[in-house]
A = this chain, B = another copy of it.
């Protein structure tokens, strides 16, 4: 038991080291991206030697994976915690969109750039991890939409997978634009408009409305072609 006592504090100390390393790593990876982050800088920020990084993590990539996983854990938990308190598909979609935009822009675009950018450029390992994390992160909303499909609120002629790509893909684009352009968009306004667009997309289409709109479109085309044919000289 006295042996255990000696072990316990060590474990605690180890946990501290790990926590500190992850904190420093998140900082550095956020600031520089995976490629340009260096283990040396991470170690320095964590206040340990470079070798110690490798005592706790198998390598740079593994460390980065852990950073990403932890971060996704956090935001996934937030979403999972909030979702039950919201009623209705629309409210939940609206929340997710707003929450996503706010969260990813909050930390100075750091983790955002990391997850969006390095999730692609780097080897397949990171991409796979991110894919897996995203699955859990998007699950609450996807479940909600599935429910919505059963209740007729959400269209069923399109697979949920595609809706997920519509929702998160468009948000990624919005985020990336705001990162590269270095300007913060009006988040609330953007979230509201994006929600409106997406809601229109995923709710069951009004069949007759669509048909009528398409009809008008075709008539207009035919009319224009007719006019062009009637006065070829002016073409």
In the complex, the answer to whether B209 meets A88 with C-beta atoms within 8 Å is no
In the complex, the answer to whether A166 meets B194 with C-beta atoms within 8 Å is yes
* Distance to closest chain B CB from A8 (angstroms): 11
* Distance to closest chain B CB from A214 (angstroms): 6
Given contacts A121-B121, A212-B216, contact A173 B169 (CB under 8 A): yes
In the complex, the answer to whether A193 meets B162 with C-beta atoms within 8 Å is yes
A180 to B127, CA, bound (A): 7
In the complex, the answer to whether A168 meets B173 with C-beta atoms within 8 Å is yes
Q: Which one of A120, A180, A194 has the greatest number of beta carbons of chain B within 10 Å? A: A120
* Distance to closest chain B CB from A26 (angstroms): 17
Question: Which of the 9-residue segments A13-21, A60-68, A74-82, A195-203 touches chain B?
Answer: A195-203
Within 8 A of B (CB), among A11-64: 33-35, 40
**Cross-chain contact of A172 among B157, B169, B210 (Cβ < 8 A):** B169
In the complex, the answer to whether A197 meets B162 with C-beta atoms within 8 Å is yes
In the complex, the answer to whether A121 meets B124 with C-beta atoms within 8 Å is no
**Cross-chain contact of A221 among B88, B170, B176, B180 (Cβ < 8 A):** B88
Chain B residues in 8 Å Cβ range of A174: 162, 165, 169
A105 touches B (CB below 8 Å): no
In the complex, the answer to whether A197 meets B158 with C-beta atoms within 8 Å is yes
A215 to B207, CA, bound (A): 14
Chain B residues in 8 Å Cβ range of A199: 210
Query: Which 7 A-B residue pairings sit nearest by Cβ, starting from the closest?
Result: A169-B173, A121-B121, A201-B201, A87-B221, A117-B120, A165-B173, A212-B212
Pairs A–B under 8 Å by Cβ, sample size 18: A33-B121, A35-B35, A90-B217, A120-B176, A124-B180, A131-B177, A159-B193, A162-B174, A162-B197, A165-B170, A166-B173, A166-B197, A169-B170, A169-B172, A169-B174, A200-B200, A203-B210, A212-B213
